[in-house]
Structure 1
């Protein structure tokens, strides 16, 4: 109930009135049944504006710590994240990546929409980076379509590293559903997973108009930080840490 309270009463109407987000392709999102919404990630505001343009609930995964912190602050945090359409990562599967897959499959098995950012983290410079193959594995294991999504302008409203930016009208574009049933049973083939992920990222690039960089966003951030910090005394090797 809190999700719908935020969306239709407490928060959503204000966002619609102030920012007047525009949407195209909403008809590509099914009226009912499960689907994966795979989006670019420019700003922390993405998870506000993308679900705002749909009548259905969109669920994302969030760190389990957001749901387990003690005290009044922990309760408020849990209430907000749970009510705003996020579920904790299920750590019973081991690491965070495996836990996110478990949580996502549970959401999809209930016939819901699941939102995911294949880049894994926000873009620091507005470019679109290489997608991680978890989205492909999720699509094959859950046997549901993937809808590519582009959210544009949120990095102006809420730029990385800042709380507020400048006013603009964000745009949300939903592409046509991608069906990967032809790869059924091949979820353990890393070449297939990479091919599927690249196809999804291509569609996101086409919708968003972003420049694509064939590098993980986390690695790009490391290189950018190393360049901005400059060489230190005795440092001959530069940035050498590899992205996971």
Structure 2
């Protein structure tokens, strides 16, 4: 079943890059009152060292872990001035998903990843697909929905399209909460013309996305942590692909099979 969203062009794709450093744990993001009290330095020239240690900047694709004594309010992300700390981002995420609880360590790990998924051929064996779909050139992926949940206007995310042998950069322009359990992230491809749009819709463990590259449109579908990236034209076998691309009911998408 197809449903129409305000914008019918859909989005996303990217290769998940795992952190090189150690991943923070929930204990490492304890509340400020549980952090050890830092004693002022009495040595000459050490003035200001305490304030330098009280926060740490972490980039989206950074590999450093924050000190164990830092709370989310003290972890500076440093790449989006509208959401300068982990706490400010968690607050916005919680407002969008009132019935969900986000683990700060998992959110931080997702923020530090440049993309939301990586290619994984073994995913194909987990899906009940006809041969014409299994071998139509689609790229099977491991998907990280948390990465998408962390995105805010002004953020960037890598959109790797293996079929095009390219990695694009999505710039998030807006996030819309449909108040029905689904959220849509809209954006554009950096360094390309305005018509190269991206849209990702996520709801209840299902993600349906699409991206218009300079050469062709691609569709991304995922159920929980598995899915695929496919050239949109191949989804309309034996018929001409309509434009704009209709957005299916993500609860009944064949990615869920």
> TM-score with structure 1 length normalisation?
0.30
Q: Highest Rg: 1 or 2? A: 2
Which structure has greater helix proportion? 1
> TM-score with structure 2 length normalisation?
0.29
